[in-house]
Amino acid sequence: MAKITKRIIDSLQAQGKDLVVWDGEMPGFGIRVKPSGVKSFCVQYRNEQGRSRRLTIGRYGRLTVEEARKEARQLLAKADVGQDPAEHKSEVRHSQTMADLVEEYLERHARPHKSPRSVKDDISIINQIILPRMGRKPVKEISRQEISKLHHELKDTPIRANRTIALLSKMFALAEDWGMRPENSNPCWGLKRYRENKRRRYLSGEELARLGGVLEKAEQEKNENPIVIAAIRMLIFSGMRLGEVLGLRWDYIDHEKGIINLPKSKTGAKTVPMNAPTRDLLVGLPRLADNPHVFPGANKGKPLVNINKPWRSLRAKAGLDDVRMHDLRHTFASVGAAAGMGLPIIGALLGHTQAATTQRYAHLSNDPLKAATEDVGRRIAEALNSDH
């Protein structure tokens, strides 16, 4: 028997019944493959009564080989000194509540792997919906009927309802990996989501001109923080997300290659190509010796953290009260679509990982009235700087 590796696991396929392959380096550690294709790590040992016990560690893909091997080593060590990990797991499983699962989810998954904004959104749903309704209930007793009823009760806010079910589904999937629920028992699977009427707002050329005039006037009259104005212009020119702009550091910027290297974003690390207006904006910004951030905040060494209040004031002066800062990103994409750029290019510029996310701009790229040949950054810059 060979040592279990990722390559070996990827090559395994069950034929009609479960296939179990044992590790050649650590006796008792193995990988089980179901005919459905699901692959799970497991350990097998004998308890004090001599009875053979098999315990699932977690699903391959959610656990790496090394993570599973480390967990297996601990479980087999307990068995060697007379403990029964399977029995202990059963006792714990029966006592763990949804509040326990929430804590595990936040510490082991959300905070290490999701953006601060996403974690904040999760916590909002958890505190407002999940914990008040089911926080004290055992994880294993949450039924599909209960989840379906909850979804129905949130029908008047369909997006919130769907996000709640998506969050619960992820939590229950992890609960299976962590031994809090039996495998393939996720009560959210197959639940039909509500139709979402997503808000789409793009600024027209005339609206961009009005906004550009307001930004220019605020800059000249010095009645607004110039760093805030620069951050808003960066949002418009680059198509970056608000968090990406506010968290931007000088060492992320490579002027020689004309790119911005973001080590973290909503979709992971990504490279943002700079257009001419973005480069000009960044070159004109001052650098503070004691602050690494492009858009520094009031506190020493810290970034700008909240521009909602000045944005509301500026957009009101431009007659754009219904425009959110995220709509500036939509506008960047819509200008590219109107200029005839393909959806894959737009998706790459925005850092989309799913083609469906970019598909919302398809109707704009197909409209001959919006056809143009100008570069996205140049078109936006011209609109912002046109006669007001």
Q: What's the CATH number for 205-384?
A: 1.10.443.10
Whether the CA torsion 168, 169, 171, 176 is positive or negative: it is positive
pLDDT of 94: 56
Q: Read off the pLDDT of each residue in 253-273 and give the average, rounded to a whole number.
A: 84
**Residue 327 is which amino acid?**
D
Q: Read off the pLDDT of each residue in 102-127 and give the average, rounded to a whole number.
A: 91
Give which of 60, 21, 56, 58 is closest to 39, Cα–Cα: 60
Token pair, residue 341, equals: 């750029």
Residue extent(s) of CATH 3.30.160.390 domains in the chain: 6-85
For a pLDDT cut of 90, what percent of the chain falls above it?
Answer: 47
Token pair, residue 342, equals: 């393909």
β-partners of residue 42 are 30, 56
Token pair, residue 156, equals: 């008047």
Token pair, residue 93, equals: 């499983």
Least confident of 122-136, 291-305, 327-341: 327-341
Q: How far apart are CA 327 and CA 330, in angstroms?
A: 5
Q: Are 229 and 295 in contact (CB under 8 A)?
A: no
Q: How far apart are CA 48 and CA 51, in angstroms?
A: 7
The pLDDT confidence band at residue 331, using thresholds 50, 70 and 90, is confident
Q: Are 245 and 239 in contact (CB under 8 A)?
A: no
Q: How far apart are CA 76 and CA 252, in angstroms?
A: 46
Sheet architecture: strand order including 52-59:
19-22, 29-33, 39-46, 52-59
Q: Read off the pLDDT of each residue in 172-185 and give the average, rounded to a whole number.
A: 90
Q: How far apart are CA 159 and CA 165, in angstroms?
A: 10
pLDDT of 7: 93
Give which of 184, 165, 163 is closest to 173, Cα–Cα: 184
Residue extent(s) of CATH 1.10.443.10 domains in the chain: 205-384
pLDDT of 93: 54
Give which of 268, 233, 229, 263 is closest to 249, Cα–Cα: 263
The pLDDT confidence band at residue 365, using thresholds 50, 70 and 90, is very low
DSSP-derived secondary structure for 117-149: HHHHHHHHHIIIIIHHHHTTSBGGG--HHHHHH
Higher pLDDT, 171 or 277: 171
The strand pair at 29-33 and 19-22 is best described as antiparallel
The pLDDT confidence band at residue 339, using thresholds 50, 70 and 90, is low
Q: Read off the pLDDT of each residue in 174-181 and give the average, rounded to a whole number.
A: 89
Specify whether domain 98-177 bears CATH 1.10.150.
yes
pLDDT of 373: 36
Q: How far apart are CA 232 and CA 194, in angstroms?
A: 34
Whether the CA torsion 375, 381, 382, 384 is positive or negative: it is positive
For a pLDDT cut of 70, what percent of the chain falls above it?
Answer: 85
pLDDT of 277: 87
pLDDT of 95: 66
Q: Read off the pLDDT of each residue in 361-376 and give the average, rounded to a whole number.
A: 45
Q: What pTM did the predictor assign?
A: 0.51
Q: How far apart are CA 338 and CA 330, in angstroms?
A: 12
Least confident of 82-91, 126-135, 324-333, 359-368: 359-368
Q: What are phi and psi of 43, to 5 degrees?
A: -130, 150
What CATH architecture applies to the domain 6-85?
A: 2-Layer Sandwich (3.30)
pLDDT of 320: 93
Residue extent(s) of CATH 1.10.150 domains in the chain: 98-177
Token pair, residue 52, equals: 């053979």
pLDDT of 313: 94
Phi/psi zone of residue 96: left (φ > 0), alpha (ψ -120 to 50 degrees), beta?
beta
Q: Read off the pLDDT of each residue in 296-309 and give the average, rounded to a whole number.
A: 91
Q: How far apart are CA 178 and CA 360, in angstroms?
A: 37
